[in-house]
Structure 1
C-alpha cells in the first residue's frame, strides 16, 4: 500500500487476521486473482455542525470507533482505512486498529465531495479492487450488514451495493416562500391515504456504506453498473449530523449498537487499578502522618453489582502507586476484592493463567501509561474521564465520570449492559434453533 499509515495490532482480541480468513481466500476476480477489498472511512477534522465529531465520545466510544469495530470484526476486509487531515483523528483511528491515509489539502476543503476524496485514495493505492466507503456517523452498523452486502458483489457479481432503509413518509411538493402556487402530493393520493400496514413504503439511502468496484470509482461513480441496494432495518439506520442528534443517537446505540459482545458471553473478571480509578489519585496525610484516600460509595456499589452477577473483581496496585500497600490492602478488604500487588503485564497474565482465563474473558479499568498493554489486550477496557491521552487512545470505553467520582460504577454498569445484551442474543439464537 502506498498511502501513509502502518497497521497497528487491532484492539479486538480473538479475531483472526482478515488476510487469512476463509472468506478472504474465496474473493477471486474473473482472472482468478484474489481481489483486495478495502474499507475506507472519511473523517475530516473540519466538521462545521459538531467540531471534531468523528472522535467525539458517543456512549463512551469515539464515534469513528463504532464503525471501525464493525468493519474489523466483519473479517471481510483486507485493509481498513481512515482518511483524515487531522492529527488527533489519526491517533484515534490507529488506536482502534485502522490504517491512516493523510488526504491532501486539495480534498480537505469544505466544498470537497466524498467521491473526490475516495478517488484520491484509489489513485494512491493501485492494488485495491473493491472499496467500501463507510460513513463514520452511522454508529449502529454491525458486521453482518457488511458481510451480507459484500456477498452481493463476490457471489452475484454486482458492481455496486449501497445501504437503504424503508420509510413510510408522505412527500409533498415544496412551495417557495412568497409563491402563489399550491402544493401537490408526490407519492400519495390524498383521497386514498393508505394505512401503514397496506403500504410498502419507499427505500431511502441511509448513507451507512457504499461498496463499489475500482473501475466505477475511477469513472466518478459510487453507484452504477450492475447495482443493488442492501436494506437495513430502521433501528440500525442512525445518522448524526448536528448536536441535537447526539443524545438520541446515544440512546439508540446503547440499544442497537455493535459492542463486539460475542467476546463477552463468558465474561468473568474485572481488573481495576486502585490509584486513579477506584480513588481520585490523591493521597491525604493526617497530622500523625497516616495516609488516607477517599472512595466513592457509588463505585463500591458498582463492584458489588458485578460480584452479584458472578463477575469477580480484583484490585491491582503498582509498587509505584502513591498509596501504600497497607492502604491498598484495606481497600481490598473493604470491597471484598482480591488484591494483586504489581501491574506489569507478566504479573497480570500469571494471574489469568492461575484462574484459567483468556483476555477475552477479562475487562480492565486503568488510567495511565502503565495500563496501556492491558487496555489493548483486554476483551473490554475502560478509563476514567480524566485519564491522560496515552490511556484514552488505548481504551475501548471512556467513562463520562472521573476517577473516584463514579467511573468504576459507570464501567460496571456498562459491563452489565453488555452481558445482558449477550445473554439476550444467546436466548434468541436458542429460540431460533428450536424453531428450525
Structure 2
C-alpha cells in the first residue's frame, strides 16, 4: 500500500493543474517542452511528498530477565581433575554459553576472596570479552561476597545467577539465606568431579561441593560439566525458558520502502536526454533529492533557536505541527528550562521514524531528570537500552539514572545480604556486607 509521509506537498498539484488553462490561452500546450516540464514538476511534488510502500511491521521486544555469570577464579579452580584445569575448561565453556545467550542480558563477575564486576547485564558480554580475560587460579573462595555483588547488579523481574565453580566455600548458610530472601534463581555449573584432585601447592583435596549442589536444586538447577555441549545446552534452555515468560512488546515500527529515490532516478533519466533546460531541471530535481531536510521546520524557528530565544523558537516550530517540528519545539522548551512544556509536546508526537522515536524518548528522559523524577527517567532509559544497547549516550543515561535511583533508596532497602553480623575478612579491608551497602548498583 502506497502512502505519503508529507501529504501537505500534494496541495501543490492543484496549483500545477491551474497552469494548464493559462498554457491553453498562450498556445504553448501543444509543445512537448511544456508537457515535459509539467511532468517533471509533478514528479518533483511527488518526491517532496515522500511516497512509501509499507512492507510489514517490525516489533521490538523487552525481556525483563537479567543474568549474571559468577566465575570462580580461586586457587581450587587450578585443580586438574578436569583437563587442562577447572578454570581454563570453564573459560572455554563460557564462550559457548555467552554465544548461545547473545539475545539475553548477561553480565560477568569474577571472584575469589573478593568479587570484581567485569560487565553489567545491560552491556551484554561477548565471547571476545571472555577471550580478553587474563585470569589465573589464586585466592580463597568467598561465595557470600560473590552472591552479594551479583544481587546488587541484578534489577530485572527475573534474576538468574549462573555460578561457574567447584562450589568450594565450606560455609554456605549465609549464602542460602541471601538466595532465599532475594528470590534469585541459581544455576550451579559444577566444574569439578566428585573424586576431586590436589590443590596446586597444597596437600589438600578439592572436590565438588555437594552442599552447593543441594542449594542450587532448591532454587534452580545443577548442571554437571561434560566434554560435550549438552551441559551448555541445558543452561541455555533453562535461561531462555524463564526469559521468554517475561517477554513483552516494547514498540511496533512499520517497515517502509521510500519511493522518492526511484522516482528521482526515472526523472533524471528523462531529463538528461534533452537540451539545456532539461539539464537545468535535472539539477533542481537532484538538489531536491539530496538536500531535502530530515527535520523540516519554520525558518524563523531555526533563527530564534540559533540566536538563543528558545521560547520564541518553540512557538514558531509549533505553527506547523509535523513530528520533526514538534520535536524541535520540545527541544527548544528544554533549552529554555520549560521542562513540563517539553514533556507535554513530546507526548503528543506520533511518528513511525525510528531515529526520531529514539530522540523523543532520550529527550523525555532528560526532562524527567531535570525535574528530579529519577525513577520515571530510569524506566525510559531501560526501554532505550533494550533497543540500543551499544549507543554510548544511552548507556551513560541508563548508568546515571540507575545509580541515582539506587543511591536514593533507604539503607535498609539497599542491603544486598541478610542482616547477620560478621567479622571483616582477612583478605580485604571491608566485609562483604559493607561492600553490598557501598555498591550503588
TM-score by length of 1: 0.30
TM-score after normalising by structure 2: 0.29
Indicate the structure with greater helix content. 2
